[in-house]
Amino acid sequence: MGDMRMYQDERRLDFHALGREIKRKREAKGWTQEYLAQLVDRTPRSIMYFENRGQHPSLNTFYKIVTLLDISVDQFFYPDKQNEESDCRQHIDRMLNTMDENELTIMEATAEGIQKARETEEA
């Protein structure tokens, strides 16, 4: 059968960058560590550990935190893919992040219109 260990994937998630993003987004909302801790049913100390020490929360807590703070985890899970994305795409993403629900609805309708036009051309 051979030694399987040589085939193991050595990738590890360095949580430090995610922790910094959690802290940045939390502070941007004006939330204290105590408040976020209450929302996700953890201690303020555990939030501090996530933010400053790169400690991993449980998957469920992680899910709650990133969805509450609207953090896109793709950049942390797929860093190589992010580098490939064009400056234009990143610029659009940044602009979308600043839009409210009404403006996003307009952007969605615009994208759907482009898609429909493309389908009509191809037909």
Q: How many CB atoms lie under 10 A from the CB of residue 39?
A: 14
Rounded distance between C-alpha atoms, residue 117 and residue 15, angstroms: 43
pLDDT at position 2: 56
- What sign has the CA pseudo-torsion 30, 17, 69, 59? negative
| pLDDT surpassing 90 at residue 68 | yes
- Give the SS3 label for residue 28: helix
Backbone dihedral angles phi then psi of residue 12, each to the nearest 5 degrees: -135, 145
pLDDT tens digits for 9-33? 777 788 999 999 999 999 999 999 9
pTM of the model: 0.61
- Name the residue with tokens 């085939």: 7
pLDDT tens digits for 32-64? 999 999 999 999 999 999 999 999 999 999 999
